[in-house]
Structure 1
């Protein structure tokens, strides 16, 4: 039988083609089996300008892979009886003050970590509406709804319970005991070597700069060891690792991606799929596949895969754990690509790892091309939709009438409106880095939409989840007939937030 190493080596041309299609300069792949790292490969460049390749110690963002670490930190605190999974957030975090009574009085720590609170998404800007930082859009505990804001709140819970900073607690209680010496929760020191540059993919797949697998293997080995031991014994701790309550962390808490023939669920910082089944639910590919994600793992015995994905401007990442064979597939990359490149690479590697019959394997190159085409269609479709809904024959008032500093109700977020030459600009928090030109749309409404490549060069997240309302800024007039407030829909399905001129 051909060795796993040679079989994975043979995937290099396809992996490099997936990177080319999506627009990813550098990627690292690590594979663990039976608790031992058995494979590592790097592709492309961690620094395109200097032509520097990545290796297993190259530091790159892992984005939402940090959710498992956040949950693990709470697992330690639960095991120390500082709280329970059913503890109300308001009891663990006395400063919590949410206008929504259900979230304020019924939301538990577990609700935060398994994305079943129903609260607003909160990613485009960590602010809320109606004078509150958190709103509820979906039925409480009614369905899985991925939410980064919940984990921001979970970090505050950790600080409240531990009386330490989030960063210090995780560093001292998880990273240091596992010997993760090249893992940071903050920006790495400037003099640290082998740090990858991060990029955003442009329309043609090239990259514009916006600014370690080795450690991750240590972390995921501990997760697998803890899960297998604690599931089999009923214990909440395992000798030799700092992680506690791992069986709870990695067990199903709410269904996702329904309907599904086999299990598809989310635990506390971890997703679970019983193969054969669809994967990628935490990444960007499902929204780019018009006919749905492919079924992974056809033609081989059913397997449980516990996984997560991470995405931010400049980086995409993936982990997949197979507890029954103490196996893991870990991928880091240095670009927010035109699709989720680590996801497609990971699924392809997984099918090779499982030795899925050739006739049952998915065509990931075709899937990559489809997902890129969908992504690139977002901008022209958005422009067409804006033009179709636009009223003709209207004009803006004198641009100086709009100038001023506008604040939200909480006086936390401000929008600075200025005029430079013949153009109007807005700047979130008054920051030069968040300053965009406003183009007149109709009446007192402007758009801040820029060409897709320009947004990518600015390091912004761009994608199909941002509809026309997100790109509009509406000014409204006060009793004196001059603009005194503006409205912006910063979050999907959330009413426009109001900012008043001061």
Structure 2
């Protein structure tokens, strides 16, 4: 999961809180004064008549916050963090604040793993989830500044095998289109393949099966669309994404504990474990290897390292007197490229997505940049910048998304602007983000079978091998009267429990798990099932498997 870009998208599938910041920005705009966070080809042809990139940034007002006001907010951060931890029980938090190119706050709280005494410090490595995206767009901005690529380059210029369902869109979709989620790919396209264990190469190759919405007229948050663009840039540079990000960003900034490879996080001695909450208890139960979508969600870092990146962003590509990123190439990432959240009232405020950033403007006309990251398996992060104030905050946590990093960041900015929080942000944002992170449950409660369910047929009716161009093969087998379904390259096995007639249920797993979901067989005239629809895999109509032979 991994933005919260419309409360990921307040409608993503599952609506991971990683994309929710866009809606958070809309909801809090004006409350604090600082803002919070096929017709396809026909529409596309019209959209591409002019350059797709914005070229004139809105004029920014002069700085309105004094150092004293910022320092007042900084002085209260300890209490804000401890209050959020007390109220939620989240095991660990790390926070950094940058103002006017100075690190004003850098501190860790709590423990790396629940039940231990291993303390969180400023050099504890956290998985960033979708905060990886603005890091990735910074890397690409470096490549753009060096003329290795241009933001409006067609992806196929650097990735000849790249294919989407519509040939016209395939020829015209650009790096910027994929970094701003306006390619027409459906929400979170490819994520379910990752849950089944497929690697990056397989997933990117199979995006061609996904149906497309109108090109450049539709926002849908896609980890693997962005990943495809980033990998194309690395290919243009003659290297891998993991090496490119280190070469262009991490090493020049001295971000020595930051990486785009899971192996580096995994081997770190001082790292924060992922935690999920069951009842009132937080447990470190999962490991999340996000290498397949590394540019979109697979980076890891420390709060100390992240403040260096904040200084680079707020310094328009300059760090400690050195120009590391071309300012114009970086500025393109900060401009609105697509409406991500339309206004909900005639005088309402819209949310936008830039290139790897949620973009919004407050009542004073100030630009605000933000992004949240979240793994349902146990991480939640947030970065928020007010560039005209040269002010930024990063919050990293090792707990599932329940609004903690967003509430801490928004409370801090509210306090800097007004002298104190105008809203209990944890109470306000927490339920929204939690609901978004829980995703879409099946409309059928498979934990409660009908009072008089129709009996299942003999297991031999259902067993066999089924094919699917997108998800690959499925094998249904029987043992001891029970059916199991086997999927993915690692041959994951799922127990099928009878529900009603030819419908069974199974428990979904992974980052996009949605609880119990249905598996419905269609029995043909020959007395055997000739196809099977897996409900949780059918979000874009690709979840039907057909019998081989």
TM-score range normalised by the length of the shorter chain: 0.7 to 0.9
Task: Output the CA distance in 1 between the equivalents of 2:313 and 2:88.
Answer: 31
Which residue is 1:486 aligned to?
532
In structure 1, the residue matched to 2:280 is 204
- Whether the 8 Å contact between 2:403 and 2:434 is mirrored in structure 1 is no
User: Are 1:361 and 2:429 counterparts?
Assistant: no
**Structure 1, residues 298-333: CA drift from partner, whole Å, max 9, x if none?**
xxx553221111112221111011212322100111
Tell whether the 8 Å contact from 1:70 to 1:154 is kept in structure 2 after alignment: no
Residue of structure 2 in register with 1:341 after alignment: 404
Partner of 1:414: 473
Pick aligned residue for 1:266 from 349, 353, 369: 353
Whether the aligned pair in 2 keeps the contact of 1:485 and 1:498 (CA below 8 Å) is yes
Indicate the RMSD between aligned Cα atoms, in angstroms: 3.5
Identify the residue that residue 394 of structure 2 maps to in structure 1. Answer: 330
- Distance across 1 between alignment mates of 2:312 and 2:479: 56
Evaluate the alpha carbon distance shift between residue 85 and residue 373 of structure 1 in structure 2; reply closer, same or farther with a 3 A threshold. closer
Deviations 1:472-502 (A, max 9, x none): 2222345632224322244675114233445
DSSP-derived class of the 1:96 partner: coil
Post-superposition Cα deviations, 1:153-184, rounded to whole Å, max 9, x if no partner, equal 11331233122111111111221111111011
Distance 1:89 1:440, change over 3 A: same
Paired residues of 1:117 and 1:140 also in contact (CA < 8 A): yes
C-alpha displacement of 1:240: 2.8
Please list the CA deviations of residues 388-426 of structure 1 after superposition, one character each: whole Å capped at 9, or x if unmatched: 99695312223354334434226x633343434443233
Q: Which residue of 1 aligns with 2:108?
A: 42
Distance (Å, rounded) in 1 between the aligned partners of 2:131 and 2:396: 10
Partner residue, 2:462: 402
Equivalent position SS for 1:188: helix
Q: Which residue of 2 aligns with 1:253?
A: 337
Q: Is the 8 A contact 2:149 2:233 kept in 1?
A: no
**Match 1:219 to one of 309, 324, 329:** 309
- Give the deviation of 1:362 after TM superposition: 1.2
Equivalent of residue 304 in structure 1, options 352, 357, 367? 367
Q: What are the Cα deviations for residues 451-481 of structure 1, in whole angstroms up to 9, with x where unaligned? A: xxxx6xxx5445xxx598xx22222345632
The Cα of 1:60 is off from its aligned counterpart by 0.7
| SS of alignment partner, residue 328 of structure 1 | strand
- Rounded to whole Å, the distance in 1 between the matches of 2:437 and 2:98 is 35
Kept after mapping to 2: 8 A contact 1:250/1:270: yes
> Which residue matches 1:105?
171
Match for residue 484 of structure 2?
425
Distance in 1 (alpha carbons) for counterparts of 2:537 and 2:322: 44
Cα distance, 1:7–1:223 mapped onto 2, change above 3 Å? closer
Aligned length: 452
- Tell me what 1:124 maps to: 192
- Specify the SS of the correspondent of 2:418: coil
Unaligned residue ranges in structure 2 (runs of 5+): 1-66, 195-201, 288-301
Distance apart, 1:108 and its partner CA: 1.6
Which residue is equivalent to 1:188?
Answer: 264
Inter-CA distance 185–446: structure 2 relative to 1 (3 Å threshold): same
Distance 1:491 1:345 in 2: 35
Whole-Å separation in 2 of the counterparts to 1:350 and 1:404 = 58
Q: Provide closer, same or farther for how the CA distance between residues 349 and 220 of structure 1 changes in structure 2, counting only shifts above 3 A.
A: same
- 1:93 is aligned, of 159, 162, 167, to 159
TM-score by length of 2: 0.73
Name the CA shift for 1:444/1:16 in 2 (closer, same or farther; >3 Å).
Answer: farther
* Residues 341, 350 of structure 2: 8 Å contact kept: no
Q: CA deviation at 1:209?
A: 2.2
**Residue in 1 that maps onto 2:4:** none
Spell out the pairing of 1:375-394 with structure 2 (5 A cutoff).
382=442, 392-394=452-454
Contact kept, 8 Å, 2:382 with 2:395, in 1: the verdict is: yes
Greater relative contact order (CA < 8 Å, ≥ 6 in sequence): 2
Match of 1:295 in 2: none
1:429 Cα deviation from its structure 2 partner: 1.4
Task: Please name the residue that 2:251 is paired with.
Answer: 176
Q: Give the equivalent residue in structure 2 for 1:158.
A: 233
Separation (CA, whole Å) in 2 of partners of 1:376 and 1:268: 23
By how many angstroms is 1:76 displaced?
3.0
C-alpha distance in 2 between matches for 1:203 and 1:102 = 50
Deviation at 1:61, TM superposition (A): 0.6
Match of 1:473 among 516, 519, 522: 519
- Partners of 2:467 and 2:545 within 8 A in 1: yes
- Tell me whether 1:67 sits opposite 2:130 in the alignment: no
CA distance in 2, matches of 1:85, 1:351: 34
Answer yes or no: is the 8 Å Cα contact 2:303–2:395 preserved in 1. Answer: yes
> CA-to-partner distance for each residue in 1:86-124, whole Å, 9 max, x for gaps?
222223321112222342133122111111112112233
Secondary structure of the structure 2 residue equivalent to 1:142: coil
